[in-house]
Amino acid sequence: MLELLKEYFGEIAILIYILYPLLKRAWNRLNKKGDTAPKPKKAARKARSPGQAKRSPPPTPRPPAVPQRSPEADFLEAARSKVLALKQEATLLQARVEGDPRLQRLAPSLREDLLGRVEVIERSLDGRPTMSTIADDTTVLRGLALLLRHLQTMARQRSYGGSSFQADADKMADACYAPLLELARVQSLELRSSQPITVTGDWDLSIVPRFASTRVAPLRLPVGFENSLWRWPAIAHEVAHDFYYSLDGLEQSLHQRTGLPLEVQMPASATEVDGAWLRGLFGAWLPEIFADVFGTVSLGPAYVESMRRTFRNPSSPQQTAAILQDNHLMDEHPPARLRLFMATRVLHHLGRHDEANALWDQWESDHSGVRLYYLPLGGQWVGLADETLHSIANSVIDVLVQGAWPELEGFHLLNIPGFAYLHGEHAEVQRLMRGLARGETVSGDVRWIMAAAVLAAMAQPSRHDAILEAARRSIVGVGEERKAATRTRRRREPESIAAALVASLRQPRAIEEAIVIGAALTPYKRPRWR
């Protein structure tokens, strides 16, 4: 045996050298599979004392249980927070409005339309409202918050603006609305009375009837509105829009009475463009036709002149006869040429035949060659005979002006007290024109002052700015001349010759008259020449 080991010792050593690592790796794998938990490190065992090894770790404290809130409670709390914040802001604005005479126009809207409705919502949320009630109140709060922003803007513009034209525009809107509001009051009409309040900004001239379901109607004036006389009559147009949507049931009743639809689809082909479709087209335009009719009845030729100057486009006359579309529906605005034609038709009903003919002839002269209206159809413009559309327009205007209005308790438009521009009103406008043309302050109804200013500037375009300035001065200072005359009568007599001389220097016209009278009464002496 020993001899065998000596003979094969090298081979046995090589086998052991090769097999030992393999056997050791296999043994370690078997030991790892059998372990159920990792053993503590030696260093950790050495660090612990015998007493520490026996102690168990302290239990980890659990966080206190948080009570679960229902989504309804969170929703209600958020609504109450909005009510509180809105009420605080509105109360601050109310204190400011009550202390500033320039902001008195905002007081009723702020007190009744905003704070009054906020208090109603506050009482609603103080109880146990349902989710639907909370959702409805939250929707109303969003509208009231937007109303507050508008009132804050209006207050800021009236407090810090460099021009008082917003007060002038407010008075113009009030004057246009006054006869309609008085009719509604006397006849007990269901008029959700809106109060036009002007606000300037980067937008087109427009009005928002019953803003946030309140009586407030922001009258949005574009920047620079006050610098052009031709824009001011358009306030009557926007007031008419507000009345159209504020008088309960007027829109539906008017469409039923005229037999015109509310909306008009774009025709698919030329075969659909027949007489019935063309008449129905006026249903899409009815709100704008209504506003133009009311504006013309209210201001007469001045309104039509402002339309002519606003819509004229001699460089591209065909555009004034284009019928526009709004996606798959017809646009609510009639072509400018058709609008002016219908306005002149209303002037004939008012008895202003010469003005109506002159305005229409001037329009046609500025836009020569237009004898068609243009309808977009199939990617191209299709011409429509103007005689056809003018005939339909005449019938619609006759219904609106000549017929009685069941919605107005049987009144005709021309019979509404203080509303129509008739012969007496025209005589008043002519009287005011003479003073405004000389740049003088005049006294009269705001409507007739602005109508007279437009007609005076129409006759003397070079004096536009001076006439506008006089008109605005007249709106602000109605009665100021009487106050000045009273102050003149109460002026005390000067106490000395020096005081009389100083007082005379303040009256250049009196000095001039004294020189003339003195020269006339002085005896003539023949001059001596040296």
Residue range 449-461, pLDDT digits in tens: 999 999 999 999 9
Which conformational region is residue 210 in: left (phi greater than 0), alpha (psi within -120 to 50 degrees), or beta? left
The structure tokens listed for 518 are: 């003195």
Q: What is the DSSP letter of 191?
A: B
How confident is the model over 439-443, as a mean pLDDT?
A: 95
pLDDT of 51 higher than 80:
no
Whether the Cβ atoms of residue 303 and residue 296 lie closer than 8 Å to each other: yes
Q: Which of 47-61, 108-122, 511-525 has the lowest mean pLDDT?
A: 511-525
Overall average pLDDT of the 190-201 stretch: 86
Angle between helices 275-299 and 386-402 (to 10 degrees): 50
Phi, psi for 377 (deg, rounded to 5):
-150, 120
Query: H-helix or E-strand containing 195?
Result: strand 195-201
Q: Answer for the pair 111, 94: CB distance below 8 angstroms, yes or no.
A: yes
Closest CA to 447 of 137, 223, 233: 233
Q: Choose the weakest-confidence range: 52-61, 100-109, 391-400.
A: 52-61
Distance CA(409)–CA(183), nearest Å, equals 9
Kindly state the helix (H) or strand (E) to which residue 392 belongs, with its residue range: helix 386-402
Distance (Å, rounded) from C-alpha 182 to C-alpha 416?
A: 10
d(CA 267, CA 269): 6
Bridge partners (DSSP) of residue 377 are 380
Asked if pLDDT for residue 463 goes beyond 90, the answer is yes
Quick check: 486 pLDDT over 50? no
Q: Are 241 and 176 in contact (CB under 8 A)?
A: no
Number of helices (H), then strands (E), belonging to the chain: the values are 21, 7
Helix axes 446-459, 464-476, angle to 10 degrees: 170
The per-residue pLDDT for 23 is: 73
What predicted TM-score, i.e. pTM, was given to this entire model?
0.76
Beta-carbon count within 10 A of 378 CB = 10
Q: What is the pLDDT of residues 487-513, one digit of tens each?
A: 444 445 555 555 555 555 555 555 555
Alpha-carbon gap, residue 377 to 462, rounded angstroms: 44
If pLDDT is split at 50, 70 and 90, which confidence band does 195 have?
Answer: confident
CB 337 within 8 A of CB 374: no
Q: What is the mean pLDDT of residues 288-315?
A: 97
C-alpha to C-alpha distance for 446 and 35, rounded to whole angstroms: 103
- The size of the chain, in residues, is 530
Q: Assess whether pLDDT exceeds 60 at residue 160.
A: yes
Encode pLDDT of 255-284 as tens digits.
999 999 999 998 888 888 999 999 999 999
Q: Which two tokens stand for residue 485?
A: 């005359």
